[in-house]
Amino acid sequence: FESLKEIMGRTINEISEIASGKGSQRFIKSGFSNLDRALGGMGKGALIIVAARPGMGKTAFALNIAQKAAFIYKVPSAVFSLEMSKEEVGNRILSSQALVNSAHLRTGALSNEDCTKISKALPLLYNTEIYVDDRSGTNVVEMLSKCRQLKLEGRLGLVIVDYLQLMSSANSKN
């Protein structure tokens, strides 16, 4: 247990730092200014769940947050994709960064303009710290272990789990 007096002391100091502009590095920006204003950024240890009907863009939204956090704000991001392969995740990120239709990437129906956009996006993406794990059936313990390893290496600031319902528990026999 900790006394409310001690907790309030830290809270007031944190509020003061944020108000003076020094505390903003404690929060990860999503790259979506309205969302950042509404949430005040994504705080350390925060659990944010994105929920909607199928096909509404949850994965695209989450990958955009990982991409913007890693690319713009230099926050290394781990993406656990329990539904899509690493290549599909890469395809989506490349499509988003290059502003090229992802169907064109999948089918190879690329125009000269698409190829130019891709060649400009690739060097930027090569230097972006996004780490993707696509093993289906990953359980909480394995995920925690991988996150700890990345954190020890200084390569983790944001974790995204795409399709939480597909995660198995450590005790399941799947």
Copy the structure tokens of residue 69.
């956090």
Give pLDDT tens digits for 97-130.
999 999 998 898 999 999 999 999 999 999 899 9
Give pLDDT tens digits for 72-102.
999 999 999 988 999 999 999 999 999 999 9
Residue 38, classed as helix, strand or coil, is: helix
Q: Which pLDDT score, from 0 to 100, does residue 26 have?
A: 66
DSSP 47-96: ------STTSSHHHHHHHHHHHHHHTS---EEEEESSS-HHHHHHHHHHH
Give pLDDT tens digits for 26-35.
678 888 989 9
Give pLDDT tens digits for 3-27.
999 999 988 988 888 778 775 556 7
Among 173, 80, 70, residue whose Cα is nearest residue 125? 70
172 has a pLDDT exceeding 60: no
Q: Which pLDDT score, from 0 to 100, does residue 18 have?
A: 75
Measured from the Cβ of residue 11, the count of other Cβ atoms closer than 10 Å reads 11
DSSP 107-123: HT---HHHHHHHHHHHH
